[in-house]
């Protein structure tokens, strides 16, 4: 990894690092304690294996965001916005069609907030 300790942070870096840390914590939590975290938003708990695999995927995704932030990979910052938009759109569609519980709203709102933070940081830098 390149050393960026003395360099000024690129716009969006803090939000990407924070999102990466959030996903690492969430993924670790779901991996170790799936039932309380899955049912926190009134989502159905299927027994543990599928939820633990979701924890693994979330953990790996969090690692990608953390590494992108540490490397100040600004291209990834913009890609993150597409991911948030797609994720929120799918969650809203699933809830609107009755294919997901309304409790998914909390997760969608976290995505909206994270995307808005990154978008604002990038917009203010331009």
What would the pLDDT profile of 24-50 be if each residue is shown by its tens digit? 999 999 999 999 988 887 778 888 799
Cα distance between residue 66 and residue 39, in whole Å: 27
List all residues 6 or more positions away from 114 whose beta carbon is below 8 Å from its beta carbon: 15, 18, 19, 22, 84
Under 8 Å between Cβ of 76 and 83: no
| pLDDT for residue 7 is more than 50 | yes
| pTM of the complete model | 0.83
What would the pLDDT profile of 75-118 be if each residue is shown by its tens digit? 999 999 999 999 999 999 999 999 998 888 988 999 999 999 99
Cα distance between residue 39 and residue 47, in whole Å: 11
Q: If you write DSSP's letter for every residue of 84-120 in order, what string do you get?
A: HHHHHHHHHHHHHTTSS-GGGHHHHHHHHHHHHHHHH
- Tell me phi and psi for residue 100, to 5 degrees: -150, 145
Q: If you write DSSP's letter for every residue of 38-62 in order, what string do you get?
A: HHTTTPPP--SHHHHHHHHHHHHHH
């Amino acid at each position: 990894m390149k050393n960026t300790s003395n360099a000024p942070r690129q716009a969006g870096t803090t939000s990407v690092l924070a999102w990466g840390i959030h996903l690492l914590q969430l993924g670790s939590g779901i991996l170790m304690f799936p039932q309380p975290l899955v049912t926190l938003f009134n989502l159905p708990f299927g027994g543990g294996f599928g939820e633990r695999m979701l924890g693994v995927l979330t953990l790996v995704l969090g690692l990608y965001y953390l590494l992108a932030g540490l490397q100040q990979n600004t291209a990834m910052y913009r890609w993150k916005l597409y991911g948030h938009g797609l994720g929120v759109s799918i969650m809203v569609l699933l809830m609107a069609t009755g294919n997901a519980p309304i409790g998914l709203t909390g997760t969608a709102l976290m995505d909206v907030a994270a995307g808005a933070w990154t978008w604002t940081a990038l917009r203010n830098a331009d």
